[in-house]
């Protein structure tokens, strides 16, 4: 298969060089995010990249669930993955930001840099996963998304909050979509402690381990877990 993207980057120097030359959209504020991009992202990217190298998953396929403006989808598309699917939908933004408010920067980058191997989906996460039950990616990212299925989106708990049965179906769908490993970041305190057992059971994962922690702009702890098949 002809490679359609920059060869995988082996070595921290090559990765840092790519990071230094990122397109401007990655530092633009996302609608509804008053931090202006202040949330640390590079540490999580490097942590996941290191985990992928340990698991020999460089040059893999990747699904980014709830990709927001596409920070991780773009980085992995140009440094480590042969195919990337980024999924986001309008429920994450309050009314008034306009169509594709989150995905517009990533769509521009895809066109500008001819990222033919980057697939961008504007659709509710549950609908996308349940509509393609046979699709599978080597790596799946679900970063700071899970709490919405418990609490809803923003000040609209009727949008996105799922029943226990619906969450089980969603966890099972994410499990089916994961070929090798899932990286799941959870907002501490917003998701019940038993979620790991539920996710492992319904997603049919063999194990789950904490690999890193970071903090939100408000100082809330967010834990990054690795779940494997």
Domains annotated for the chain, with CATH where assigned, are: 39-228 (3.40.50.150)
Query: How confident is the model over 184-200, as a mean pLDDT?
Result: 85
Q: pLDDT-derived band of residue 100, with 50, 70 and 90 as boundaries?
A: low
Q: Which long-range contacts (CB under 8 A, 24 or more apart) does 2-10 make?
A: 3/82, 4/82, 4/116, 4/117, 5/77, 5/78, 5/81, 5/82, 5/115, 5/117, 6/78, 6/79, 8/58, 8/59, 8/79, 8/80, 9/79, 9/80, 10/53, 10/58
Give pLDDT tens digits for 62-89: 999 999 888 899 989 988 899 999 999 8
Least confident of 26-35, 69-78, 214-223: 26-35
Query: How confident is the model over 158-184, as a mean pLDDT?
Result: 91
Give pLDDT tens digits for 111-151: 888 889 999 999 888 899 989 999 999 999 999 888 888 88
In the chain, % of residues over pLDDT 70: 74
Q: Is the pLDDT of residue 219 over 90?
A: no
Nearest by Cα to 191 from 166, 221, 228, 159: 221
Enter the pTM of the model. 0.85
């Amino acid at each position: 298969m002809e490679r359609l993207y920059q060869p995988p980057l082996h070595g921290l120097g090559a990765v840092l060089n790519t990071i230094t030359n990122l397109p401007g959209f990655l530092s633009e504020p996302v609608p509804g995010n008053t931090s202006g991009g202040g949330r640390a992202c590079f540490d999580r990217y490097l942590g996941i990249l290191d985990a992928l190298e340990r698991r020999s998953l460089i040059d893999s396929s990747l699904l980014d669930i709830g990709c927001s403006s596409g920070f991780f989808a773009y980085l992995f598309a140009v440094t480590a993955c042969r195919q990337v699917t980024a999924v986001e939908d309008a429920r994450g933004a309050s009314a008034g930001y306009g169509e594709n408010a989150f995905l517009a920067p990533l769509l521009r980058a895809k066109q500008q840099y001819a990222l033919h191997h980057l697939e961008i989906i504007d659709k509710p996460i549950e609908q996308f996963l349940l509509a393609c039950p046979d699709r599978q990616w080597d790596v799946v990212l679900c970063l700071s998304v899970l709490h919405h299925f418990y609490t809803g989106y923003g000040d609209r708990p009727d949008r996105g909050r799922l029943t226990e049965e619906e969450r089980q179906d969603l966890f099972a769908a994410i499990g089916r979509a994961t070929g090798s490993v899932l990286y799941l970041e959870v907002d501490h305190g917003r998701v019940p402690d038993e979620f790991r057992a539920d996710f492992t059971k319904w997603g049919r994962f063999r194990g789950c381990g904490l690999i890193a922690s970071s903090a939100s702009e408000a100082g809330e702890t967010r834990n990054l877990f690795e779940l494997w098949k």
